[in-house]
A and B are shown apart, each in its own frame.
Chain A
Amino acid sequence: MATYLARRIGQSLLAVFLTLTTVFLLLRLAPGDPAAAYAAPSATAADLARIRAEFGLDEPLITQYGIFLRDLCTGNLGTSYSFHASAFQVVMDRLPYTITLAVAAIAVTTVVAVPLGVWMARRADTKRELGTNVLTITGQSMPDFWTGMMLLTVFAVLLPVLPASGFTSWSGLVLPTVTVAVLQLALVSRLVRREMTTALAAPYTTVARSRGVSERALTWRYGLRNSAVPLVTALGTRFAALLNGVVVVEVVFGWPGVGSLVVRALETRDYPLIQATVLVTATLAILVQLLVDLAYPLFDPRVRLGKAA
């Protein structure tokens, strides 16, 4: 177990490091000049050169990378060009909003998709199940900015019951959450349906039925419990993905999270800020994945961590 954990943490650190390096190089290879984005439109070539020198961008790439690594080791991710503050601190200030949205969206997805999937498994291949399928797939197929704007139009403009933008009160969480959840519903409910259908047709279910176990207990105790591993995997993966920032939804709803931050950072070529965002979100995503893996034995006693590949 300890070896397993050490190996997994080692792998995770390596993954974060490689991601950071890739982002570092890609940013500098991509067209666009941070100095031009930073400076006033009237800036002269000399001004731009001065700004580049100030940001350390006049050094050769390999030197810049060396400085980046040295600073990284001391926990310094640089100063954001546009915020004039520690890039790491800027990201951390935004992070709670993204986590709040991700937690809310996964919670709503779970609460809706799990019973829905169970219901679909019990009504498999009926017209109603087909109809539900079509509905959830429609939800998944709609682009998130469109879903978001439709919800805004209906619930913030036509029936002004919810705030349109930003996070001024908890009601501001409702529309972005629903928009994100709609995207996940089809995937999760169909996964639950598939796993439940398998579990309900398994020999152990028939044998349990033969000894008088009620249909309700067969569904919730035997069926759902046996579907837990793929379900937890899917929810964990979706959650990790949401932590990287729900860029479009955050922009549509003016949500002050990491997703809208990264858009701004890209627009202004704010290298330190982009790198800090990548470091924080990649670390979080990998951490969530590790926790999900560590949780497997809780859901399936046959899983022994570190024993089998």
Chain B
Amino acid sequence: MSEDSSSFLELDSITKKFGDFTAVRDISLKIREGEFFTLVGPSGSGKTTMIRMLVGMEQPTSGEMRLQGRVLNDVPANKRPTCMVFQSLALFPHKSVGENIEFSMKIAGVDPARRRQRAEELLTQLRLPVNYYDKGVNQCSGGERQRIALARALAFDPQILFFDEPLSALDFRLRKTLEKELKDIHKETGKTFVYITHSLEEAMVMSDRIAIMKAGGIVQVGSPHEIYNNPVDKFVAQFMGEVNTLAVEKAGARSVRGQADGATYQVSRMPEGFTSGFLIIRPEVMKIGKAAERLKNRVKGVVFNDYALGSRIQYQVRATATNEHWLVERLQDDPYEGKVDDTVSIGWQPADSILVSE
């Protein structure tokens, strides 16, 4: 059966119910061969259930999963050509680093010398010292254990590698390092990676494409760029991090009216059939002080506080009319000319805002 590369792994109307509760609702998705695909969603969005069905630890209530055209539903977990890196890593505590990595090869009956050679290759590839082979897994640090879990999964030589939030327990700096390493390993191996996380930021760094999940369904699928620039709704926009959201209703062909302040704001594009929704403006496109004075979309407010964010500096401005909190960012070396507690104008270009329905 020939399949084009656009549907390497295909999910067709997958639904999973636990009693009355629907964890995954009618999900259809096509994952391409060799891509880094990430499912993002808050806890309870169904992403873990989805991945557990894909590796064979749960059965879908309805729908079909196909890998290269072959139906996966009834294939037991130990017969699927896929492998997962667990959130808890699930390293075998009674086995050494080498024995952990070699586990799948031992099960498959690969001879010990060949196994050891492959395990040592993987240790090297994952930037672990080869003499870790005989070390106990519990003697290794968090980052090392992470790499061992990945090596163990790679040793299985899966057609798809699944990741269940493996980085969530690590501290910020180590997580950032491993995110990049993971992306490098994806490139080196050329394998299909399917990753789940609750952090869109993490997904952005690594993924070729992202699917955003909410309450068991998929809200949006696209490249990080597409999702960043065109979030389909307020949920997606806010999920990406700090944004200014303003509840608005349609005022004209290219304008909306703020529901709280009654002021009119220009937009560059009006979605078809829009009546009311939200205007989304990122803090980094907001202008403050002199830079905002000649803009059409303006709000007056008081600078309440400032926060140093490293390369940027963020201001919290409280609108005089509505007391709504606005966030504005400037580069660290180009701060706003005024002071905290000053009354200022803040504003944005119509093209820098995004208008979404509910």
Question: Are A and B a genuine interacting pair, yes or no?
Answer: no
